[in-house]
Chain A
Amino acid sequence: MPDKPREIGKALVLPLAVLLAFEFWARATHLKSDSLAPPSEIAIALAGAFADLSILTATRDTLFSAFAGLAIGTAIGLALGIAFGISDTLNRLMEVTVEAIRPIPSIALLPIALIALGFGYRMEIVIVAFACVWPILILSRAAVRSIEPRLMEVSRALRLPPAQRVWKIIIPAALPRIFVAFRLSAGIALIVAVTVEIAINPLGLGAGIMLAQQALRADLMLAYLVWIGIIGYALNIALVVAQRRLFGRAALSGDGA
């Protein structure tokens, strides 16, 4: 990530040039399109969507579903990942089941979820949670397995009870790597939430895009797209900053991701 103003400036030169060129080209050719709009019109459409609060409501709905699904998926994935990482027996018992369910695209659950739960938050949250479980499970299992064996010997020699062993040794030791999995899942949560909304669920940013498309408002559709990109980017930046703040020390001592 560029951190000096000069670096940021350099990094912005190309995108700005492309945007300007596109703007000139669209104006020169008097662009009339259902899929493209000049940047200036996209900006105006975005401002309009902010003014009438529609995009803010949609953002709230999408983020609520994405974060709720992320939280549930993380909790389940973490519990299973830690259990599988600790117990070889449990891992062997569950391996086939996990590997059989994991490749199912979460979106493929949409028809079932729709019948079972109907339109709305619940259905979307369940699908997001399903998608988020796997990266967390796989990576936290690997993180627990790669904990320094000496630390496990220390916890045995100290006779730490199992619950304390998990809470005081295993989770802190694996946390830097688990957080990387969480970052990955946070990105997936946003993607899946928007996908569910585009496919079927009449709420949130995805539904906003579909509505703009059906109204033949290419400018508004692209405004939503730009806004989703900004949200995704901001989310990632926030998590990277959190990661540095939380695990700077662990990263220094060689545990870092």
Chain B
Amino acid sequence: MAIAAIRQGAPSSASATPQIAFADVTLELGGKTIIENLSLGVRPGEFLCIVGASGCGKTTALRLAAGLYQPTSGSVNFDGQPMRQPRREIAIVFQDYGKALLPWRTAAGNVSLALEAGGMPAAERPARIAELLGTVGLPGHAGKYPAEMSGGMQQRLQIARCLAQEPKTLLMDEPFGALDAMTRQGLQDEVLALVAASGATVIFVTHDLDEAIYLGDRVIGLLPHPGRIGIELAVNLPRPRDQLSTREQPEFLRLRRQLFDFIKATEQ
């Protein structure tokens, strides 16, 4: 099935201007500095992974990119415009899918929520919902409630709801952290395929270093207290990636060692 779910990213000629840009962003919450002087640009179509020890502010950085938090100082820009509030072109996949889905709506109803928010006429929704559920591998589950679905299926459903927004940018907050290893690997490849087909920009937060390298064009490691960039690695591994051969490449292992050393150092 053709994936028209994610709106085509800006053409490569526009790669000079980042789609999402953090300029000297500091965020204080409750008197604590969570993120300090963070500057970061994400190119259109780039797959950026953010890793770091727990409590380093990676989830907070993602919420800033989503417009759910406003920086205390500095600015977060999307396509050159300051983010004052969440935007429909930016979709966010939360880690805790069980809390992010509406338990009183079926799978179809949960996807429909995003379409309703976008003002799509009721008559057009069923076809679009079926298409989106098919895209994430949930055809035939439209009538199920989240409580009747496995964790992997619920996370697919949340991704489908995000795709319904036709986002230019997909923000993912440890989306596979709560899933078992097999399900996680399957979903990693599906997300890569979805993103490759659509050209969307992705910021992907994870604590799994292998996952970050496997998925990303670039990996950023944050230092904790307060959160700031500690390491930045370009991942020059060929695409499409493969769960076995990619992870066996010397380059993968080199990056893995570098990232592990960094994380180990931050924990001391």
- What's the tally of chain A residues with a CB closer than 8 Å to chain B? 22
Q: A153-B94, A253-B147 are in contact. Are A159 and B103 (CB under 8 A)?
A: no
The A interface is mostly helix, strand or loop, or mixed, namely helix
Contact in complex: A157, B146 (CB < 8 Å): no
A8 to chain B minimum Cβ distance, whole angstroms, is: 32
Interface assignment of A150: CB less than 8 Å from any CB of chain B? yes
Contact in complex: A157, B86 (CB < 8 Å): yes
Set of chain A residues within 8 Å of B114, measured between Cβ atoms: 158
- Provide the A144-180 mask, 1 if CB < 8 A to any CB of B, else 0: 0000101101101111110010001100110000000
Contact in complex: B116, A250 (CB < 8 Å): no
Set of chain A residues within 8 Å of B90, measured between Cβ atoms: 157
How many A-B residue pairs lie within 8 Å, measured between CB atoms? 60
Q: How far is the CA of A161 from the CA of B118 in the complex (A)?
A: 10
Interface residues of A in 163-199 (CB under 8 A from B): 164, 168-169, 172-173
Interface assignment of B218: CB less than 8 Å from any CB of chain A? no
B177 to chain A minimum Cβ distance, whole angstroms, is: 15
Interface assignment of B172: CB less than 8 Å from any CB of chain A? no
A102 to chain B minimum Cβ distance, whole angstroms, is: 31
Contact in complex: A157, B104 (CB < 8 Å): no
Contact in complex: A150, B86 (CB < 8 Å): no
Interface assignment of B66: CB less than 8 Å from any CB of chain A? yes
Q: How far is the CA of A66 from the CA of B145 in the complex (A)?
A: 37
Q: A164-B117, A249-B147, A253-B146 are in contact. Are A159 and B100 (CB under 8 A)?
A: no
Interface assignment of B23: CB less than 8 Å from any CB of chain A? no
The residue of chain A having its C-beta at the shortest distance from the C-beta of B66 within the complex is A157
Q: Which of A148, A150, A159, A250 contacts B104 (CB 8 A)?
A: A250
Contact in complex: B96, A150 (CB < 8 Å): yes
Contact in complex: A252, B147 (CB < 8 Å): yes
Q: A156-B86, A157-B92, A159-B87 are in contact. Are A164 and B116 (CB under 8 A)?
A: yes
Between A168, A173, A254, A255, the greatest number of chain B beta carbons within 10 A of the residue's beta carbon is seen for A168
The 21 listed contacts between A and B (C-beta, < 8 Å) are A150-B99, A151-B102, A153-B92, A156-B68, A156-B85, A158-B117, A158-B165, A159-B85, A160-B113, A160-B117, A161-B117, A164-B116, A164-B117, A168-B113, A172-B102, A249-B104, A250-B103, A250-B104, A252-B147, A253-B103, A253-B146
The 5 closest A-B pairs by CB, nearest first: A253-B103, A150-B99, A158-B117, A253-B147, A160-B117
